Amino acid sequence: MENLKKYSYQNLLANNKNWAAKKTNASPTYFPNLAKGQSPEFLYIGCSDSRLPINVMTNTDPGHIFLHRNIANMVHQHDTNLESVLEYAIHSLHVKTIIVAGHHKCGGVAAALGPKSEGVIDDWISPIRSVYANNKKELDEHICTADRLSELNVIAQIKSLTQTRPFLKALSTKNTPNLVGWVLQLETGLIKDIPLPLDEWKKDEILPQTFVNTP
């Protein structure tokens, strides 16, 4: 395994100064314009894993992606932290697309496949155990159970998102954001688009028949 460069606290501050200087030299108005406000097109709900810098992976500048990250990209209903992000992103920033992104080699997903333990993290990832139980046959036959579970977990979390108060509120308006599922493949650096069972959710009345997804 290739050794990753180590950074000290002082390195972080020095790197910041160098980055800010380069941006200013290239465009003196860059930071003044950035400070005027934000109007991101996307809300990204992803995992807290340090290997997933989504702005870098999508080659996007600051201001385009509104971010929320937690262990294993979970969407717990009535999580006030997440709901606050959703409320602001949907109803104040008017984001056009919500992306829920998991990733291969996810520690949270791997932990959900292991024995239960005592602690906050185990409580947090407990819904992933239900995803596994509901898809046990497929997952046990898959060449990489954990990676496939990461993909199914993305679908489960988007389904949970559709039942949050901010999203239900959006369904009553004409500004409902699109829904997208991603899995980031650490082994290649590529993003895998995950198809969502929207027709099934409409049939089960999880989504209204009028919901249109055009990301």
The predicted pLDDT at position 2 comes to 58
* Best CA proximity match to 46, nearest among 181, 192, 177, 197: 181
- Of residues 171 and 1, the one with the higher pLDDT is 171
At residue 176, φ and ψ (nearest 5 deg) are -70, 125
Average pLDDT of the segment spanning 48-66: 97
Average pLDDT over residues 202-207: 97
pLDDT band at 118 (very low <50, low <70, confident <90, very high): confident
* Contacts of residue 213, Cβ cutoff 8 Å, sequence gap at least 6: 178, 179, 196, 198
At residue 1, does pLDDT exceed 60?
no
Q: How far apart are CA 198 and CA 26, in angstroms?
A: 45
Going by pLDDT thresholds of 50, 70 and 90, the confidence category of residue 206 is very high
On average, the pLDDT of the chain sits at 96
Q: What pLDDT, in 10s, does the model give residues 64-96?
A: 999 999 999 999 988 999 999 999 999 999 999
Burial of 156 from C-beta contacts in 10 A (0-12 / 13-18 / 19+): buried
pLDDT in tens, 21-43: 999 999 999 999 999 999 999 99
What is the C-alpha separation between 173 and 28, in angstroms, rounded? 40
- In this predicted structure, the answer to whether residue 110 has a pLDDT above a threshold of 70 is yes
pLDDT given for residue 174 in this prediction: 79
Q: How far apart are CA 143 and CA 163, in angstroms?
A: 32
Please report where in the chains the tokens 């596994």 appear, as a residue: 132
pLDDT digits (tens, 9 = 90+) for 125-141: 999 999 999 999 999 99
Strands 97-103, 42-47: pairing kind: parallel
Domains of the chain: 8-37 (no CATH), 39-203 (3.40.1050.10)
Q: What is the pLDDT of residue 70?
A: 98
CA torsion angle 61 182 176 86 (round to 10): -70
Tell me what pLDDT residue 4 has: 75
Residues acting as catalytic residues: 47, 49, 51, 103, 106
* Residue 32 CA: distances (Å) to CA of 24, 70, 93, 129: 10, 30, 20, 47
What is the band of 164 on the pLDDT scale with cuts at 50, 70, 90?
Answer: very high
Secondary structure (3-state) at 117:
coil
